[in-house]
């Protein structure tokens, strides 16, 4: 059965009905009791047809709402979330074992640690599953998780797996339930096809029985030089056109929206990296290489994503990193983005190259120390904008790279940081650190924070992705200063992965959302927060402090 229901009486009723109907085992889904966030369902406003119900719960809770609960939910997800209990834990499995003589198989295990607990509880089987990747994105493929779990179980329980099993040559179905469109005949055909293909593979592998298969050597397919080692970096995107009823549901769709909304030179300026843009791509790909190993049966009913930055409590680790020229994206510029950050109760870092002055925007909690920025892309036709913090300097320059280079001093050194520390009592955070050696110097000088950043890969191409640089810097700092990061964050799972490296917070937004002004910034911050909570729910982590062991 799927999940332990909200009351003992309902679960007991299900078990007794299963026993009476002659079922041979109870299969209990043990990871977080709710549906995954499936954006196509949200966009399609998907809900159960009126003539359908969850038949095993027909008497539960009366009438359930079939409408969309929010932009980040679907009717079916809302329906299911009302049926189940977020306090589900291993004690519930122990109770289930106590009320039935049927074997109990736990489904949804992806970590060897949880497999061991299941065996110790007396579970007779473990079904290794990520639910067809329909719950939490970024977790390991079931076939990758399988060997570690088999080793951990060590023959004390049976181990099964699902996910990714498809027809080898013919285009039978994209999903393993698509055959149901032909009813019983379709299911029978798929089972027959897979059995025949299995026999075919055994015949050509010299294996007469399933027991013989273990002796066949498998070789991992490794891509050749220069070929990708990760899945395609581009998910199928819904084209969002201004004036349409399509609402961006994630950060990537906001980029698509901005591409339609901004003039080409504006979009190219915001979206580009330096030179060949290798590091720009790597900022994203590095996150994809980190695989989640969620834990199950942990009480996640009290979710807390709050953290602190330099002694100030904020509601989320998702902050707004410094980026220039917000008014080029929207007339309200930095005023809109700071207002959205303030309403989200999070931190905003004002760029030195902002189009709104420090005096106008007084919400900044962090001072950013930045080196010289020479932009590879010259952006012309922005004469209606000025760098508001430098209105007296070089107002006649029209080439942005020249404008910036004329403002800064190439002799900048650590002595200047020491001087800055001497003239202010404000905490000083150094941004742009990518090496542990520089992180140690910053700490020795007395800097209170380090923002690990390659400036969105817009400065020097070929540097490491920030998420790759982060662990060594955290280790070098060794708790003597706070560590933040920006770059490559597009999903709440990215925030989750970065948090495993014990960082405090970081930039998780894109200037593209400024196409909608304050509303766009607020939506992106909300989306990332909701996706982070979603990842935490499905990973058995109720607070940021619990995340450390999941990636």
The DSSP string of 266-332 is HHHHHH--STT-HHHHHHHHHHHH--B----S---SS-B--EEETTEEES-SEEB---S-GGGT-TT
Only one residue has tokens 């977790």, namely 139
Cα angle 118, 99, 150 (rounded to 5 degrees) comes to: 15
Sheet of strand 26-29, all strands in order from the earlier edge strand to the far edge: 26-29, 104-109, 125-128, 158-161
The predicted pLDDT at position 66 comes to 37
- Give the integer Cα–Cα distance in Å for 107 and 30: 6
Query: DSSP label at 395?
Result: T
Which residue is catalytic, options 131, 455, 512, 534? 455
pLDDT tens per residue across span 195-238: 888 888 888 888 888 888 865 555 554 444 344 444 443 344 44
Domain 251-376+413-549 in CATH 3.20.20.70: yes
Whether pTM exceeds 0.85: no
Alpha-carbon Rg for the chain in angstroms: 27
The predicted pLDDT at position 58 comes to 54
- Give the integer Cα–Cα distance in Å for 522 and 339: 9
pLDDT tens per residue across span 368-424: 333 322 222 122 223 334 444 445 554 454 565 665 666 666 788 899 889 988 988
The predicted pLDDT at position 157 comes to 96
Provide CATH 3.20.20.70 ranges for the chain. 8-215, 251-376+413-549
Cα angle 91, 533, 92 (rounded to 5 degrees) comes to: 10
pLDDT tens per residue across span 35-54: 677 776 777 676 666 665 55
- Give the integer Cα–Cα distance in Å for 127 and 115: 10
Strand ranges inside 32-167, DSSP E: 104-109, 125-128, 158-161
- Give the integer Cα–Cα distance in Å for 144 and 530: 28
Q: CATH for 8-215?
A: 3.20.20.70
pLDDT tens per residue across span 444-495: 999 999 999 999 998 899 999 999 999 999 999 999 999 999 999 999 999 9
Task: Give bridge partners of residue 163 from the DSSP assignment.
Answer: none
64 included as an active-site residue: no
Looking at residues 119-125, what average pLDDT do you find?
96
């Amino acid at each position: 059965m799927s999940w332990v229901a909200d009351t003992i009486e309902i679960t007991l009723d299900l078990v007794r009905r299963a026993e009476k109907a002659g079922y041979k085992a109870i299969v209990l889904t043990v990871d977080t009791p709710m549906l995954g966030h499936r954006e196509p369902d949200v966009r399609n406003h998907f809900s159960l047809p009126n003539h359908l119900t969850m038949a095993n719960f027909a008497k539960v809770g009366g009438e359930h709402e079939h409408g969309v609960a929010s932009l980040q939910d679907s009717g079916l997800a809302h329906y299911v979330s009302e049926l189940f209990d977020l306090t589900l834990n291993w004690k519930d499995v122990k109770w289930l074992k106590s009320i039935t003589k049927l074997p109990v198989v736990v489904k949804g295990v992806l970590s060897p640690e949880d497999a061991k607990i299941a065996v110790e509880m007396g579970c007779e089987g473990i079904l290794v599953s990520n639910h067809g990747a329909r719950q939490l994105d970024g977790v390991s493929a079931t076939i990758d998780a399988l060997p570690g779990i088999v080793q951990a179980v060590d023959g004390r329980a049976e181990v099964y797996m699902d996910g990714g099993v498809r027809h080898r040559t013919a285009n039978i179905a994209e999903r393993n339930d698509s055959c149901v469109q032909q009813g019983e005949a379709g299911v029978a055909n798929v089972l027959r096809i897979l059995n025949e293909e299995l026999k075919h593979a055994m015949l050509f592998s010299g294996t007469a029985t399933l027991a013989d298969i273990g002796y066949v050597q498998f070789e991992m397919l490794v891509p050749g030089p220069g070929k990708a080692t990760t899945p395609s970096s581009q998910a199928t995107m819904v084209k969002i056109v201004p004036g349409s009823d399509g609402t961006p549901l994630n950060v990537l769709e906001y980029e698509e929206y901005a591409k339609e909304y901004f003039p080409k030179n504006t979009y190219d300026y915001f979206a580009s990296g330096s030179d060949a843009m290798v590091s720009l791509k790597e900022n994203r790909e590095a996150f994809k290489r980190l695989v989640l190993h969620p834990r199950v049966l942990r009480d996640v009913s009290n979710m807390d994503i709050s953290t602190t930055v330099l002694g100030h409590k904020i509601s989320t680790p998702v902050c707004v990193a410094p980026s220039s020229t917000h008014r080029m994206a929207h007339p309200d510029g930095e005023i809109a983005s700071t207002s959205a950050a303030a309403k989200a109760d999070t931190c905003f870092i004002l760029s030195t190259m902002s189009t709104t002055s420090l005096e106008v925007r007084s919400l900044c909690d962090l001072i950013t120390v930045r080196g010289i920025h020479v932009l590879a892309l010259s952006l012309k036709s922005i004469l209606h904008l000025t760098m508001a913090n430098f209105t007296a300097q070089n107002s006649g320059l029209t080439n942005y790279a020249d404008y910036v280079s004329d403002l800064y001093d190439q002799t900048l050194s650590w002595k200047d940081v020491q001087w800055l520390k001497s003239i202010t009592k404000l905490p000083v955070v150094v941004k742009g650190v990518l090496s542990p050696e520089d992180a140690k110097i910053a700490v020795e000088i007395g800097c209170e924070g380090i923002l690990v950043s390659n400036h969105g890969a817009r400065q020097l191409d070929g540097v490491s992705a920030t998420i790759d640089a982060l662990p060594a810097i955290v280790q070098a700092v060794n708790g003597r200063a706070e560590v933040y990061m920006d770059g490559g964050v597009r999903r709440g799972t990215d925030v989750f992965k970065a948090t495993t490296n014990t960082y405090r917070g970081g930039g998780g937004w894109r200037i593209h959302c400024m196409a909608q002004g304050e509303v766009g910034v607020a939506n992106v911050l909300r989306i990332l927060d909701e996706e982070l909570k979603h990842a935490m729910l499905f990973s058995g982590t109720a607070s940021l402090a619990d995340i450390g062991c999941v990636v």
